[in-house]
A and B are shown apart, each in its own frame.
Chain A
Amino acid sequence: MQPTTARDFLRVSLQRLTAAEEIMDVLRLTLEAQYIGGYSVECSLKALILEKTADMDRPTVLHQLTHGATYHRAEILFGRLRERGVFKTVELAKRMRRFDWTTDLRYETGRKDTGETNGLLRTARIIYKWVEEQIP
């Protein structure tokens, strides 16, 4: 079932994140861990966008967030958050500079760098916590 509330998106985010961490810790599949882990960041940011959207606008925004490739991109999602008065921290921005995840990872084969993968998963965890703190 499609997520419809901020809490729903946060739940999806956590499920993707824990799956990605397991894929990394148990199976050591770096590319797959990055691919799944990136969706956690996407869902966390979407959760916060919905949370910061006025009730009456939520159906429209929900439709936008769940349709189209544009809303896979962190730059766009942070832009939507800025419109809602949410500013990322300097530390978060620094982490995002390393986060070059795109859905195009689905076409890649082979492995990714282990350190890079662990970094991406740490970023996903930090963003999850940052968002969770802002959703009552």
Chain B
Amino acid sequence: MTTATKLSWEAKRTSETQRVEELLQQHFQQADAYRYNSASIRVRVIDPQFEGMSREQRDAMVEPHLDMLPPETLRDIMTLFTFSPSDLNRTPTTLRQHMLNTEFEDPSPSML
């Protein structure tokens, strides 16, 4: 990940998405969130607890915390990525996985 790439999503952080990050950072090692467009907030959570867990199990750990957010924020969270640190060092097993990871870090133009 280059600095320029990182900045492209960090620039999309808002006070609302910072509240999402603050909430999740109380429970997980790393939480990133940004507003992609008027209808979509993207969230990424990275934590060693996720090691060896299925996607369903990981999501089930995060969702109860998201439920604490106001409905107007919650209804815009359309993307939730959950990674263990080792997932990020591993080559993605599918093209889709690779595309989705890349899309979080380097969001394509939303045109909105």
Contact = CB atoms under 8 A, between A and B. Distances in A.
Q: Is the interface of A mostly helix, strand, loop or mixed?
A: helix
B37 A74 contact: no
Given A93-B75, A97-B78, A107-B95, 11 more contacts: A75-B40, A75-B78, A78-B78, A79-B40, A82-B39, A92-B75, A93-B76, A98-B59, A100-B96, A100-B100, A104-B95
Contact of B95 (A74, A89, A108, A115): A108
A90 B77 CA distance: 9
B112 interface: yes
Contacts, number: 68
Interface range, A side: 20 to 34
Interface string A48-64: 00000000000000000
Interface residues of B, number: 26
Contacts of A102: 96, 99-100
16 contacts: A75-B79, A75-B110, A76-B37, A78-B39, A79-B37, A83-B112, A88-B75, A90-B75, A94-B63, A97-B77, A97-B80, A98-B59, A100-B79, A102-B99, A108-B94, A115-B56
A105 B112 CA distance: 25
A100 B101 CA distance: 11
B39 A90 contact: no
Contacts of A97: 59, 77-80
Interface in B31-48: 36-40
B78 A96 contact: yes
A5 B109 CA distance: 27
Contact of A81 (B39, B56, B95, B111): B39
B7 interface: no
Interface of B: 36-40, 55-56, 59, 63, 71, 74-80, 94-96, 99-100, 108, 110-112
A89 B72 CA distance: 9
Contacts of B71: 90
Contacts of B96: 100, 102, 104-105, 108
Contacts of A116: 55
B47 to A, nearest CB: 17
B51 to A, nearest CB: 19
Contacts of B40: 75, 78-79
